[in-house]
Amino acid sequence: MKYVDEFRDREKAEALIREITAVVREIDSARHRPLNIMEVCGGHTHSIFRYGLEGMLPKEIELIHGPGCPVCVLPMGRVDDCVAIAERPEVIFTTFGDAMRVPGSRKSLMQAKAEGADVRMVYSPLDALALARRHPDREVVFFALGFETTMPSTALTVLQAEAEGIGNFTLFCNHITIVPTIKAILDSPDLQLDGFLGPGHVSMVTGTAPYQFIARHYGRPLVVAGFEPLDILHGIWMVLKQIRDGRAEVENQYARIVPDAGNAAALAAVGRVYELREFFEWRGLGSIDHSGVRLREAYARFDAERRFAIPNVTIADPSSCQCGEVLKGVIKPWQCKMFGTDCNPETPLGALMVSSEGACAAHYQYGGIQRQRGVA
């Protein structure tokens, strides 16, 4: 654990906080609002609350929790599509565990399983492919979900299925891409962002080049950061230094993991198997052009959307649920009127309370419920 402990050193964290405070004091004192820094990735959100980083920062810094949790931005209609496929008697529907409790308009996959649907939790798409080998008389569907982080593994699984000539395996593809989403956020009139912590996991695949438009066209700094406390504090310090110096650049704090050029083999597999959709629906953010992918025509036989009839209906979130405003950073999780009462980890109304990387779940788990109730 030595390697991990080095990134959780209390004295070094306190030294970084002092450096951050000093830089903040050097930034324009005439500002009339906080410095808004968005952490795009749900993994960052989870770490920020797990280690209490938000409370250590100067009050002039406001962390905005972005839409970087793929489970959280899954629209209700797509959950309904999952359930419709899973309830077919010939189907074994496979998924990662955190997606099983995401509410649809009628039920979740967990509830469908309780009612008799053959829904199974797996740890990788290869587990689903193994099920297809063992059950040639059944249709095995894998719920493909996630940003560029998980796209390569599902793409390589499709290529493996093709190489083996497996005909009873398909993907229900809900992979999404991060760059169009950041652009949509920057174009939103609701937000005034001063900089970004870039996603570490996604960047392991994509590299840092895709973010250059943020600096060039929007004049905002972005620092790709890791997930340990010192990574995040160091990333915030790097963003602040750019703001102080009047710079807008893409920098890589997570260079020990993220190559600037990305992972060529992973990108090649993704490019071979997937193509961009014209648009994709996001929970709370609406339809965003070219923000999702689908299987190319050459791999259409592995596409669950083409093999099975699905409702494919857009379903609005319940009016009481404020997931969309939280996802866009307009309100904090604890400011949602349902937070910690009707919506909690045991009975989530919205997806943000389901996933461990969801902003609401992180707030609830690490003390946000006390803040909502006015407890110091």
Query: Strands 274-276, 293-295: parallel, antiparallel or unpaired by DSSP?
Result: antiparallel
Report residue 252's pLDDT band, with 50, 70 and 90 as the boundaries: very high
In this structure, is residue 253 part of a structural domain?
no
Backbone angles phi, psi at 273, to 5 degrees: -95, -35
Same domain assignment for residues 97 and 172: yes
In this structure, is residue 280 part of a structural domain?
yes
What pLDDT, on the 0 to 100 scale, is given for residue 72? 82
What pLDDT, on the 0 to 100 scale, is given for residue 29? 65
Choose from 51-60, 213-222, 317-326, 366-375 the range with maximum mean pLDDT: 213-222
In this structure, is residue 316 part of a structural domain?
no
Span 141-163, mean pLDDT?
97
Backbone angles phi, psi at 313, to 5 degrees: -115, 140
Same domain assignment for residues 49 and 154: no
Same domain assignment for residues 86 and 151: yes
Choose from 165-169, 188-192, 285-289, 344-348 the range with maximum mean pLDDT: 165-169
In this structure, is residue 255 part of a structural domain?
no
Same domain assignment for residues 286 and 234: no
Per DSSP, the residues of 124-147 read SHHHHHHHHHH-TTSEEEEEEEES
Cα distance between residue 181 and residue 214, in whole Å: 12
What CATH number is attached to the domain comprising 54? Answer: 3.40.50.11750
What pLDDT, on the 0 to 100 scale, is given for residue 376? 39
Cα distance between residue 180 and residue 183, in whole Å: 5
Same domain assignment for residues 279 and 152: yes
Span 42-70, mean pLDDT?
89
Span 226-250, mean pLDDT?
97
Same domain assignment for residues 282 and 358: no
What pLDDT, on the 0 to 100 scale, is given for residue 89? 97
pLDDT in tens, 320-351: 778 878 877 778 888 888 888 888 888 888 77
When mean pLDDT is compared across 31-35, 136-140, 171-175, 214-218, the lowest value belongs to 31-35
In this structure, is residue 68 part of a structural domain?
no
Same domain assignment for residues 344 and 301: no
What pLDDT, on the 0 to 100 scale, is given for residue 233? 98
Cα distance between residue 259 and residue 239, in whole Å: 19
What pLDDT, on the 0 to 100 scale, is given for residue 369? 54
Yes or no: say if 103 and 79 are a contact pair by the CB < 8 Å rule: yes
Asked if the model's pLDDT at residue 217 lies above 70, the reply is yes
What pLDDT, on the 0 to 100 scale, is given for residue 374? 52
What pLDDT, on the 0 to 100 scale, is given for residue 368? 56
What pLDDT, on the 0 to 100 scale, is given for residue 375? 47
CA-CA distances (angstroms) from residue 337 to 46, 100, 326?
21, 25, 11
Yes or no: say if 303 and 295 are a contact pair by the CB < 8 Å rule: yes
Report residue 3's pLDDT band, with 50, 70 and 90 as the boundaries: confident
pLDDT in tens, 103-134: 898 999 999 999 999 999 999 999 999 999 99
**Overall domain count for the chain:** 3
Which position has the higher pLDDT, 216 or 284? 216
Same domain assignment for residues 86 and 229: no
What pLDDT, on the 0 to 100 scale, is given for residue 316? 78
Q: Which residue has the tokens 């629906």?
A: 281
Same domain assignment for residues 360 and 243: no
What pLDDT, on the 0 to 100 scale, is given for residue 148? 94
pLDDT in tens, 80-97: 999 999 999 999 999 998
Global pTM reads 0.89
Backbone angles phi, psi at 44, to 5 degrees: -65, -45
What pLDDT, on the 0 to 100 scale, is given for residue 258? 97
Its domain, for residue 274, covers 76-178+261-307
Span 145-161, mean pLDDT?
96
